[in-house]
Amino acid sequence: MRVVYRGLAVIGLVVAAAATLVAVLPSGPDEVAAGPVTAPPAAPSSSGPAPSTAAPPSVSSTPTAEATPSPGPSLAPGYTAMEALYADPRVPRLTGRIKRMSLASPSRKVVKDRRSGLAVPDLPKPWKSYGAAPFTTKQVLPKTRAGVRGIFVTCPLPIMRQKSPRNTALLAARWTLNHHPKGSRITWLASQPVKNGWMLVYRVKYGKHQSRAAVVVMDGGMSKPGLAFVTVPDSQRKQWRDISRVVAGVRVLG
């Protein structure tokens, strides 16, 4: 009997030890090394900051400067494309004071871009056709000593289409800053509707230099509108006159 009692005592000690071990260990692997978790800040929306259960600030409910989308190729979370445009210091507001420009007769000699559905002027010498990629058509001026030169390209619209052609053209002009030197800023020179779209002519300043540029956004009947973009640096200012040829000569391919 003593042997039986000793065996029962041993079993009781093992059960007690197991119960103690279960009480000490976590109930699941997710609890191991778990610490306090803080929720990420809510992304601002176009109508203001996201609602919160905390008491509202006593000063103002306006989003802080840190929440403003910064210039760049990607869109800040929670902002529309137009809000990002208005927050970009490189692109001023387009007001009604910006003048229209008289357009010359369109050129008879054209380059056809079947992907964008546009026909654009085939510019005279010293312009020449060049390897188009990543665009669909491309014409260039000779390179200068500084390594820059005028370019004239077309392609399907590379940014999100907006409800109005004017806003779409504004976003396209902002996008073209990717093809100008770092630190470039826009000054508007002309803005007006064209058949099936909108055109903008502007100056791009960078340091002591500048370029003249223009965009034409036009619906060519494709899945996306077509974009025509031309820019000419001040080292080739004699060809600034060709910018008016471009904006006057873009039309729907037909």
pLDDT computed for residue 6 by the predictor: 52
Q: Which has more confidence, 29 or 248? A: 248
C-alpha torsion angle, residues 155, 160, 162, 165 (rounded to 10): -10
Half-sphere exposure of 141 (CA within 13 A, CB side): 21
pTM assigned to the model: 0.70
Identify the pLDDT of residue 107: 81
pLDDT-derived band at 113 (thresholds 50, 70, 90) equals: very high
Q: Using alpha carbons only, what angle is made at residue 91 by residues 206 and 239, rounded to the nearest 5 degrees? A: 50
196 CB-near residues (< 8 Å, 6+ apart): 218, 219, 220, 252
pLDDT above 70: residue 238: yes
pLDDT at 199 over 90: yes
CB atoms within 10 A of CB 86: 14
User: Mean pLDDT across the stretch 234-244?
Assistant: 96
* CA 79/CA 71 separation, integer angstroms: 12
How far is Cα 214 from Cα 231, in angstroms, rounded to an integer? Answer: 7
Point out the least confidently predicted range of 10-19, 82-91, 110-119, 122-131: 10-19
Structure-model confidence comparison of residues 16 and 79, the more confident one = 79
The letter for the amino acid at 56 is P
